[in-house]
Amino acid sequence: MMNKQSVIDLLQEHGVQSTQQRIEIAQILFAKPQHLSADQVLAKVNHKRNIVSKATVYNSLGLFARKGMIREIIADPNRVFYDSNTSEHHHFFNVDTGELSDLPNENITVNELPGLPEGTVADSIDVIFKVRNKAEKPSVF
């Protein structure tokens, strides 16, 4: 678990005012590289006692993502995941279980891009490699 002072420093580096709740949330996120949904963060933060409200968790995660502290991963149509690992890498997404895992970056190459859409600049690239459980026989609807 990242210590409190490191978290405060991290917040400041990213221009985010540090508050009790933001520190709690950041400590959960940066405990290790992981993918958590807002609800999962809420559950972890409030595991011991109720320290942070749902609204604040959502607000903080959105803020952290905008500030580049964490990365938003859109893979599951039902919820957004936040990744505390912002280094270049991509993801496996298990469509059966909804689990996300890391995909080493070396295996994906994006060549020179010919033309971005009119009047736009590159922001980021998300690669989602979808996998299914092997055992499950494909459901024949």
Partner DNA sequence: ATTGGTGCAAAGGATTTGCAGTCTA
Partner DNA sequence: TAGACTGCAAATCCTTTGCACCAAT
Q: How many CA atoms lie within 13 A of 7 on its CB side?
A: 21
Q: Report in angstroms how near the CB of residue 100 gets to its own copies at its nearest.
A: 10
Distance CA 78, CA 37 (A): 10
- Secondary structure class of 2 (helix, strand, coil): coil
**One residue of 6, 33, 53, 133 binding DNA per CB under 7 A:** 53
Q: Note whether 40 and 10 are within 8 A (CB).
A: no
Give the number of other CB atoms < 10 A from CB of residue 125: 10
Q: Considering CB distances under 5 to 8 angstroms, the limit depending on partner class, which of its own copies, DNA, none binds residue 1? A: none
- Give me the 36-65 binding string for its own copies, x by CB under 8 A, dash otherwise: ---------------------------x--
Is 99 a residue that touches DNA (CB under 7 A)? Answer: no
d(CA 64, CA 11): 9
Select from 2, 27, 34, 51 the one that contacts DNA (CB under 7 A): 51
| Residue ranges in contact with DNA by CB under 7 A | 16-22, 37-39, 50-56, 58-60, 62, 77-80
